[in-house]
Amino acid sequence: MDGPTTPDFAAARRALTDATRVVVFSGAGMSAESGVPTFRGPDGLWKNFRPEQLATPSAFAADARLVWEWYDWRRRLVSECAPNPGHIAVATAQVVSDKQIHVLTQNVDGLHERALSDLSEATKQGVTELHGSLFRIRCSACPYERPDRQAIDASSFDSLPRCPDCSALLRPGVVWFGEALDEKVLDFSFQAAAEADVCVVVGTSALVEPAASLPRQTAASGGFVIEINLERTPLSGLADAFLPGPSSHWLPRLLTTGE
Ligand code: OAD
Protein backbone atom coordinates (compact mmCIF):
# COMPACT_ATOMS: atom_id res chain seq x y z
CA MET A 1 0.00 0.00 0.00
CA ASP A 2 1.25 3.50 -0.77
CA GLY A 3 2.31 5.58 2.18
CA PRO A 4 0.97 8.98 3.17
CA THR A 5 3.93 10.65 1.47
CA THR A 6 2.69 9.86 -2.06
CA PRO A 7 1.89 12.85 -4.29
CA ASP A 8 -1.79 11.89 -4.44
CA PHE A 9 -2.07 11.84 -0.65
CA ALA A 10 -0.30 15.20 -0.37
CA ALA A 11 -2.57 16.73 -3.02
CA ALA A 12 -5.65 15.30 -1.30
CA ARG A 13 -4.61 16.74 2.07
CA ARG A 14 -3.95 20.14 0.51
CA ALA A 15 -7.36 20.18 -1.16
CA LEU A 16 -9.04 19.26 2.13
CA THR A 17 -7.11 21.91 4.05
CA ASP A 18 -8.27 24.57 1.60
CA ALA A 19 -11.88 23.31 1.43
CA THR A 20 -14.88 24.86 3.14
CA ARG A 21 -17.45 22.34 1.98
CA VAL A 22 -16.73 18.62 1.76
CA VAL A 23 -18.93 15.70 0.82
CA VAL A 24 -18.04 12.09 1.59
CA PHE A 25 -19.73 9.78 -0.90
CA SER A 26 -19.62 6.19 0.33
CA GLY A 27 -20.52 2.71 -0.85
CA ALA A 28 -20.43 -0.82 0.50
CA GLY A 29 -16.61 -0.92 0.70
CA MET A 30 -16.85 1.66 3.50
CA SER A 31 -18.53 -0.96 5.72
CA ALA A 32 -16.60 -4.02 4.51
CA GLU A 33 -14.19 -3.80 7.45
CA SER A 34 -17.15 -3.71 9.84
CA GLY A 35 -18.07 -7.16 8.51
CA VAL A 36 -20.94 -6.05 6.23
CA PRO A 37 -20.63 -7.92 2.91
CA THR A 38 -20.31 -5.81 -0.23
CA PHE A 39 -22.76 -6.28 -3.10
CA ARG A 40 -20.43 -7.26 -5.88
CA GLY A 41 -17.53 -8.87 -4.00
CA PRO A 42 -16.96 -12.62 -3.55
CA ASP A 43 -18.92 -12.60 -0.25
CA GLY A 44 -21.82 -10.64 -1.72
CA LEU A 45 -24.07 -13.67 -2.16
CA TRP A 46 -26.84 -15.04 0.01
CA LYS A 47 -28.14 -18.60 -0.49
CA ASN A 48 -27.01 -18.31 -4.13
CA PHE A 49 -29.19 -15.26 -4.76
CA ARG A 50 -27.67 -12.04 -6.02
CA PRO A 51 -28.94 -8.76 -4.54
CA GLU A 52 -30.23 -7.83 -7.99
CA GLN A 53 -32.59 -10.85 -7.80
CA LEU A 54 -34.03 -9.92 -4.39
CA ALA A 55 -33.85 -6.14 -4.13
CA THR A 56 -36.61 -5.45 -6.65
CA PRO A 57 -40.36 -4.70 -6.52
CA SER A 58 -41.03 -7.74 -8.72
CA ALA A 59 -39.14 -10.05 -6.33
CA PHE A 60 -41.30 -8.72 -3.47
CA ALA A 61 -44.48 -9.18 -5.51
CA ALA A 62 -43.45 -12.74 -6.42
CA ASP A 63 -42.19 -13.89 -3.01
CA ALA A 64 -42.46 -11.33 -0.19
CA ARG A 65 -41.54 -13.98 2.39
CA LEU A 66 -38.20 -14.74 0.71
CA VAL A 67 -37.38 -11.03 0.33
CA TRP A 68 -38.21 -10.37 4.01
CA GLU A 69 -36.14 -13.39 5.06
CA TRP A 70 -33.13 -11.83 3.25
CA TYR A 71 -33.74 -8.38 4.77
CA ASP A 72 -34.21 -9.85 8.27
CA TRP A 73 -30.87 -11.67 7.83
CA ARG A 74 -29.21 -8.41 6.74
CA ARG A 75 -30.78 -6.44 9.63
CA ARG A 76 -29.51 -8.99 12.14
CA LEU A 77 -26.07 -9.11 10.54
CA VAL A 78 -25.69 -5.32 10.55
CA SER A 79 -27.02 -5.03 14.12
CA GLU A 80 -24.03 -7.09 15.23
CA CYS A 81 -21.54 -4.88 13.34
CA ALA A 82 -19.95 -1.70 14.62
CA PRO A 83 -18.60 1.39 12.84
CA ASN A 84 -14.97 0.85 11.78
CA PRO A 85 -12.08 3.36 11.94
CA GLY A 86 -13.16 4.77 8.56
CA HIS A 87 -16.67 5.66 9.80
CA ILE A 88 -15.20 6.99 13.03
CA ALA A 89 -12.69 9.20 11.18
CA VAL A 90 -15.48 10.71 9.07
CA ALA A 91 -17.71 11.28 12.10
CA THR A 92 -14.83 12.76 14.11
CA ALA A 93 -14.05 15.18 11.30
CA GLN A 94 -17.74 16.10 11.13
CA VAL A 95 -17.81 16.88 14.85
CA VAL A 96 -14.47 18.67 15.33
CA SER A 97 -13.96 20.45 12.01
CA ASP A 98 -15.21 23.94 11.29
CA LYS A 99 -15.79 22.84 7.69
CA GLN A 100 -19.16 21.67 6.45
CA ILE A 101 -18.75 17.90 6.00
CA HIS A 102 -21.79 16.03 4.73
CA VAL A 103 -22.01 12.29 4.12
CA LEU A 104 -23.94 11.04 1.10
CA THR A 105 -24.10 7.27 1.45
CA GLN A 106 -25.46 4.49 -0.73
CA ASN A 107 -25.29 2.21 2.31
CA VAL A 108 -28.43 1.16 4.13
CA ASP A 109 -26.60 -0.10 7.24
CA GLY A 110 -26.83 3.08 9.36
CA LEU A 111 -23.15 2.86 10.38
CA HIS A 112 -22.28 6.48 9.46
CA GLU A 113 -25.21 7.65 11.64
CA ARG A 114 -24.16 5.37 14.47
CA ALA A 115 -20.56 6.64 14.39
CA LEU A 116 -21.81 10.22 14.46
CA SER A 117 -24.35 9.74 17.24
CA ASP A 118 -21.77 7.81 19.33
CA LEU A 119 -19.59 10.96 19.26
CA SER A 120 -22.09 13.75 19.52
CA GLU A 121 -25.76 14.07 20.35
CA ALA A 122 -26.10 17.44 18.70
CA THR A 123 -24.21 18.16 15.52
CA LYS A 124 -25.33 20.22 12.59
CA GLN A 125 -23.42 17.95 10.23
CA GLY A 126 -25.47 15.28 8.56
CA VAL A 127 -25.75 11.95 6.79
CA THR A 128 -28.02 11.44 3.78
CA GLU A 129 -28.99 7.82 3.08
CA LEU A 130 -29.55 7.83 -0.68
CA HIS A 131 -30.88 4.27 -0.81
CA GLY A 132 -32.88 4.36 2.45
CA SER A 133 -32.24 2.29 5.56
CA LEU A 134 -32.49 -1.33 6.66
CA PHE A 135 -33.95 0.03 9.88
CA ARG A 136 -36.97 1.75 8.35
CA ILE A 137 -40.00 -0.09 7.09
CA ARG A 138 -42.81 1.30 5.00
CA CYS A 139 -46.12 0.29 3.52
CA SER A 140 -46.16 -1.28 0.07
CA ALA A 141 -49.47 0.49 -0.66
CA CYS A 142 -49.87 3.71 1.36
CA PRO A 143 -47.49 6.43 2.71
CA TYR A 144 -47.12 4.79 6.18
CA GLU A 145 -43.49 4.53 7.32
CA ARG A 146 -41.63 4.04 10.62
CA PRO A 147 -38.18 3.36 12.08
CA ASP A 148 -38.01 -0.32 13.05
CA ARG A 149 -35.32 -2.54 14.57
CA GLN A 150 -37.47 -5.53 15.59
CA ALA A 151 -36.84 -9.01 14.22
CA ILE A 152 -39.15 -9.87 11.32
CA ASP A 153 -40.97 -13.20 11.45
CA ALA A 154 -40.52 -14.38 7.88
CA SER A 155 -41.36 -18.01 8.63
CA SER A 156 -44.57 -17.77 6.58
CA PHE A 157 -46.42 -15.28 4.38
CA ASP A 158 -49.04 -14.83 7.11
CA SER A 159 -46.49 -13.80 9.72
CA LEU A 160 -45.07 -10.90 7.63
CA PRO A 161 -45.62 -7.40 9.04
CA ARG A 162 -48.75 -5.54 7.94
CA CYS A 163 -49.54 -1.84 7.73
CA PRO A 164 -51.47 -0.55 10.78
CA ASP A 165 -53.28 1.94 8.51
CA CYS A 166 -54.33 -0.12 5.50
CA SER A 167 -53.31 -3.75 6.25
CA ALA A 168 -51.19 -4.06 3.10
CA LEU A 169 -47.80 -5.75 3.45
CA LEU A 170 -45.05 -3.64 4.97
CA ARG A 171 -41.76 -3.64 3.05
CA PRO A 172 -38.15 -2.62 3.76
CA GLY A 173 -37.60 1.17 3.64
CA VAL A 174 -34.91 0.91 1.01
CA VAL A 175 -34.70 1.86 -2.65
CA TRP A 176 -34.85 -1.21 -4.87
CA PHE A 177 -33.49 -1.71 -8.36
CA GLY A 178 -35.93 -0.21 -10.82
CA GLU A 179 -37.24 2.33 -8.26
CA ALA A 180 -36.59 6.06 -8.29
CA LEU A 181 -34.70 7.72 -5.46
CA ASP A 182 -36.64 10.18 -3.33
CA GLU A 183 -36.73 13.41 -5.33
CA LYS A 184 -35.94 15.71 -2.40
CA VAL A 185 -33.03 13.50 -1.31
CA LEU A 186 -31.69 13.46 -4.84
CA ASP A 187 -31.98 17.25 -5.35
CA PHE A 188 -30.31 17.92 -2.00
CA SER A 189 -27.48 15.47 -2.79
CA PHE A 190 -26.73 16.84 -6.25
CA GLN A 191 -26.73 20.37 -4.86
CA ALA A 192 -24.35 19.35 -2.04
CA ALA A 193 -22.07 17.62 -4.57
CA ALA A 194 -22.13 20.67 -6.86
CA GLU A 195 -21.28 23.05 -4.00
CA ALA A 196 -18.53 20.84 -2.55
CA ASP A 197 -14.92 21.97 -2.84
CA VAL A 198 -13.91 18.35 -2.28
CA CYS A 199 -15.75 15.05 -2.78
CA VAL A 200 -14.18 12.02 -1.05
CA VAL A 201 -15.45 8.89 -2.81
CA VAL A 202 -15.06 5.80 -0.65
CA GLY A 203 -15.58 2.11 -1.41
CA THR A 204 -18.03 2.20 -4.27
CA SER A 205 -17.89 0.37 -7.58
CA ALA A 206 -19.63 3.46 -9.00
CA LEU A 207 -21.90 1.35 -11.18
CA VAL A 208 -25.33 2.28 -9.85
CA GLU A 209 -26.90 5.50 -11.11
CA PRO A 210 -27.89 8.16 -10.34
CA ALA A 211 -25.77 8.01 -7.16
CA ALA A 212 -22.56 7.29 -9.10
CA SER A 213 -22.89 10.65 -10.87
CA LEU A 214 -22.54 12.68 -7.65
CA PRO A 215 -18.72 12.89 -7.84
CA ARG A 216 -19.02 13.86 -11.53
CA GLN A 217 -21.17 16.78 -10.37
CA THR A 218 -18.41 17.94 -8.00
CA ALA A 219 -15.81 17.62 -10.77
CA ALA A 220 -18.03 19.45 -13.28
CA SER A 221 -18.40 22.33 -10.80
CA GLY A 222 -14.62 22.63 -10.41
CA GLY A 223 -14.29 20.66 -7.16
CA PHE A 224 -11.52 18.21 -6.27
CA VAL A 225 -12.33 14.48 -6.26
CA ILE A 226 -10.47 12.03 -4.02
CA GLU A 227 -11.14 8.32 -4.51
CA ILE A 228 -10.35 5.60 -1.95
CA ASN A 229 -10.81 2.04 -3.17
CA LEU A 230 -9.04 -1.32 -3.25
CA GLU A 231 -9.19 -1.16 -7.05
CA ARG A 232 -9.79 1.33 -9.83
CA THR A 233 -13.39 2.07 -10.85
CA PRO A 234 -15.18 3.94 -13.66
CA LEU A 235 -14.70 7.09 -11.55
CA SER A 236 -10.93 6.74 -11.20
CA GLY A 237 -10.26 8.56 -14.47
CA LEU A 238 -11.84 11.74 -13.17
CA ALA A 239 -10.40 11.52 -9.64
CA ASP A 240 -7.75 14.16 -8.91
CA ALA A 241 -6.24 11.84 -6.30
CA PHE A 242 -6.58 8.05 -6.09
CA LEU A 243 -5.67 6.37 -2.81
CA PRO A 244 -5.44 2.59 -3.31
CA GLY A 245 -6.28 0.50 -0.25
CA PRO A 246 -8.85 0.06 2.51
CA SER A 247 -10.91 2.97 3.75
CA SER A 248 -9.98 2.27 7.39
CA HIS A 249 -6.33 2.88 6.44
CA TRP A 250 -6.78 6.09 4.49
CA LEU A 251 -9.67 7.95 6.13
CA PRO A 252 -8.08 8.47 9.57
CA ARG A 253 -4.88 9.69 7.87
CA LEU A 254 -6.70 11.90 5.41
CA LEU A 255 -9.30 13.43 7.71
CA THR A 256 -7.77 13.47 11.15
CA THR A 257 -4.05 12.85 11.71
CA GLY A 258 -2.59 13.79 8.31
CA GLU A 259 0.12 11.12 8.84
P1 OAD B 1 -20.26 -2.67 -4.51
O2 OAD B 1 -20.32 -3.99 -3.79
O3 OAD B 1 -20.72 -2.64 -5.93
O4 OAD B 1 -18.77 -2.13 -4.52
C5 OAD B 1 -17.96 -2.12 -3.37
C6 OAD B 1 -16.68 -1.39 -3.71
O7 OAD B 1 -15.93 -1.24 -2.51
C8 OAD B 1 -15.77 -2.08 -4.73
O9 OAD B 1 -15.33 -1.11 -5.68
C10 OAD B 1 -14.59 -2.60 -3.88
O11 OAD B 1 -13.36 -2.58 -4.60
C12 OAD B 1 -14.56 -1.55 -2.77
N13 OAD B 1 -14.04 -2.01 -1.47
C14 OAD B 1 -14.22 -3.21 -0.87
N15 OAD B 1 -13.66 -3.23 0.35
C16 OAD B 1 -13.09 -1.99 0.53
C17 OAD B 1 -12.38 -1.38 1.59
N18 OAD B 1 -12.12 -2.02 2.73
N19 OAD B 1 -11.96 -0.09 1.43
C20 OAD B 1 -12.22 0.58 0.28
N21 OAD B 1 -12.90 0.05 -0.76
C22 OAD B 1 -13.34 -1.22 -0.64
O23 OAD B 1 -21.06 -1.63 -3.61
P24 OAD B 1 -21.66 -0.19 -3.97
O25 OAD B 1 -20.82 0.53 -4.94
O26 OAD B 1 -21.98 0.46 -2.69
O27 OAD B 1 -27.99 -0.37 -4.36
O28 OAD B 1 -23.02 -0.60 -4.66
C29 OAD B 1 -23.88 0.43 -5.06
C30 OAD B 1 -25.30 0.01 -4.92
O31 OAD B 1 -25.54 -1.19 -5.62
C32 OAD B 1 -25.77 -0.29 -3.52
O33 OAD B 1 -26.15 0.85 -2.79
C34 OAD B 1 -26.94 -1.15 -3.76
C35 OAD B 1 -26.24 -2.07 -4.72
O36 OAD B 1 -26.83 -3.06 -5.31
C37 OAD B 1 -29.27 -0.65 -4.12
O38 OAD B 1 -29.61 -1.56 -3.39
C39 OAD B 1 -30.23 0.27 -4.83
The single residue of 102, 112, 131, 249 carrying the catalytic annotation is 131
Q: Given its phi and psi angles, is residue 203 left (phi above 0), alpha (psi -120 to 50 degrees) or beta? A: left
pLDDT at 65: 97
pLDDT at 43: 66
pLDDT at 257: 66
pLDDT at 123: 75
Angle between helix 111-119 and 85-96 (nearest 10): 50
pLDDT at 32: 95
Residues 133-173 pLDDT 10s: 999 999 999 999 999 999 999 999 999 999 999 999 999 99
Indicate the average pLDDT of the chain: 93
Does the structure show a pLDDT above 90 at 108?
yes
pLDDT at 152: 96
pLDDT confidence tier of residue 121, bands split at 50, 70 and 90? confident
The best mutation among 67, 106, 247 to test binding of ligand 1, ranked by most ligand atoms within 8 Å of the C-beta, falls on 106
pLDDT at 40: 77
Residues 201-253 pLDDT 10s: 999 999 989 999 999 999 999 999 999 999 999 999 999 999 999 999 999 99
pLDDT at 45: 64
pLDDT at 1: 58
**202 CA from centroid of ligand 1 (Å):** 9
Residue 51 CB less than 6 A away from ligand 1:
yes
Exposure string of 6-23, with b = 16+ CB inside 10 Å and e = fewer, is eebbeebbebbeebebbb
**53 CA from centroid of ligand 1 (Å):** 17
Residues 78-88 pLDDT 10s: 999 999 999 99
Inter-residue contact 31 to 84 (CB < 8 Å): yes
**84 CA from centroid of ligand 1 (Å):** 16
- Mean predicted confidence (pLDDT) in 5-18: 93
pLDDT confidence tier of residue 50, bands split at 50, 70 and 90? confident
- Mean predicted confidence (pLDDT) in 175-188: 95
Sign of the Cα pseudo-torsion (132, 192, 35, 178, in order): positive
Is 112 a catalytic site residue?
no
- Mean predicted confidence (pLDDT) in 68-76: 95
- Mean predicted confidence (pLDDT) in 105-122: 92
Cα(205)–Cα(211) distance, integer angstroms:
11
pLDDT at 124: 75
pLDDT at 5: 67
Residue 204 CB less than 6 A away from ligand 1:
yes
